[in-house]
Amino acid sequence: MSLAHLPRRKKWAKYEELCRKFDEGVDDRSVYFAASVRTSERMAQAVEDDLELLSDVVTWGETYRHHWPSASGVYECARCSNPIYAASSKWNGPCVWPSFRSAVSESSLDYQDVPGYNGYTCRMDELYCRGCSLFIGHRFEDGREKGDVHPEAHWRH
């Protein structure tokens, strides 16, 4: 069940528990993982808002946004270590999250089309780790329009 469905008092208690553990140096993402596992339907906006807040609580801002590893590096799923993105597909995209052109392989992610998301006019999908169904984020079919100058630019993840 999403944190969005919990009463406000219980939801904020989960956030506080996560913050306390983080402050104590404990890297326990179980609350985040529990909130972000794929269900049979697309995620509701309230669930996505919870995940964004939890992600900010866990990392105190997106730690990989300005992280540029060697071209041979691979970003893995935080839950199951499934390879998700090659470092070579990363680019400096338009949002606060890291941007990638494509998954490391077609078998890395599951895609779920979401028509009409937040007023976007391009195609948009939710992304889930194929290894454990963890919500990874979104992909938008507007990479070139958002500034990706790579010859293979099309999607932005």
**Cβ partners under 8 Å of residue 157, min gap 6:** 85, 99, 100, 101, 102, 103, 127, 136, 137, 138, 139
The answer on 69 and 24 residing in a single domain is no
pLDDT of residue 98: 85
Residues 100 and 150 in one domain: yes
pLDDT score at 82: 96
| Overall pTM surpassing 0.75 (yes/no) | no
Specify whether 146 is located in the same domain as 91: yes
Are residues 111 and 51 part of one domain? no
Within this chain, do residues 111 and 83 fall inside the same structural domain, yes or no? yes
List the CATH number of the domain containing 71.
2.170.150.20
> What pLDDT sits at residue 130?
94
User: Domain containing 96: what range?
Assistant: 65-157
Q: What is the pLDDT of residues 76-101, one digit of tens each?
A: 998 899 999 998 899 888 887 789 99
- At 11 the pLDDT is 73
In the predicted model, residues of the chain with pLDDT beneath 50 are none
Cα–chain center distance at 144 = 20
Query: Are 96 and 129 members of one domain?
Result: yes
